[in-house]
Structure 1
């Protein structure tokens, strides 16, 4: 099995987002510090930028920086504050149930025996969360992603939620 956490497809995507981030950041006119608190600003920016889920999906399909960089940023907030790591299918998915976009996950414990899928480390697809802003409505917030890690007891002590 190929490595989902380190492969050319993932590494190329990550490098592209890191390169696009400074331009995107300047265009937003805001400072981005990769903290959990910055997710509120990211959410506001996305809600203002996209009027509908269809607008968002079209931008995502076209891999526009207006969606790709925020998705990368959300993943980086989780990586740097909660200990997750990026993953991406090393080959282009052929089945509709396979994720096309990268996602983050806490590292698996190599010695752990997982009874079932519910015991596996929590996975977060930043693009699914961004889409959720426009589907779930104004009561849903990006920082709830961090709350999910807390709720299932998978939040490392190193995670800074403030």
Structure 2
């Protein structure tokens, strides 16, 4: 089985986002400290930046840094506050149900009693998309509280 946590597709994506982060951060005019609280500011920034689902999805498909870097940032907040790590299919997915974007997941722990023996995880891009689907009391910070 190929390694979803260390492969060229994942590693190059992570390197691109980390390299783009400083310029993105300056462009936002805000300080980003990878805290749970910073997700509230990121949520507002994303909602202000994109006019809706179609606008945001087009930016995601174009791998626009205004979506890619925030997705990376959300994952890094989870990694630093919840103990998750990045995963990505080492090969380009061929089935529409396979994740195309990287995601974070807790470490595999056979004794943890995970549902279906799969560690909990989260796709930050699903969370960004979810901001544009009306749901009461849904916020980006929820990605952290779900692990507790």
TM-score category, normalised to shorter length:
over 0.9
RMSD: 1.5
Q: CA deviation at 1:43?
A: 0.4
1:13-52 paired onto structure 2 within 5 Å: 13-52=13-52
Equivalent in the alignment of 2:121: 123
1:11 and 2:19 aligned: no
Name the structure 1 match of 2:95.
95
Runs of 4+ in 1 over 2 A off after TM superposition: 111-116, 136-139
* Unaligned ranges ≥5, structure 1: 151-162
Between the aligned partners of 1:148 and 1:113, the Cα distance in structure 2 is 16
Tell me whether 57-66 or 135-144 shows the greater mean CA deviation: 135-144
* Cα separation, 1, equivalents of 2:143 and 2:121: 10
Residue 73 of structure 2 corresponds to residue 73 of structure 1: yes
Partner Cα separation in structure 1 for residue 5 and residue 97 of structure 2: 19
Change (3 A) 1:2 1:79: same
Contact 2:81 2:144 in 1 (8 A): no
Specify the SS of the correspondent of 1:136. coil
Tell me, what secondary structure is at the counterpart of 2:46?
helix
Structure 1 residues 39-60: Cα deviation after superposition (integer angstroms, max 9, x where no partner): 0000000010011100000000
1:127 Cα deviation from its structure 2 partner: 0.1
Under a length normalisation based on structure 2, what TM-score does the superposition of the two structures give? 0.95
Gaps of 5+ in 2: none
Check conservation: 2:114, 2:120, Cα contact below 8 A: no
In structure 1, what is the equivalent of residue 131 of structure 2?
Answer: 133
SS of corresponding position for 2:104 = strand
Count of matched residue positions in the alignment of Structure 1 and Structure 2: 148
| Equivalent position of 1:112 in the other structure | 111
In 2: Cα distance, 1:8 partner to 1:144 partner: 30
1:153 corresponds in structure 2 to none
Q: 1:113 to 1:107 in 2, by over 3 A?
A: closer
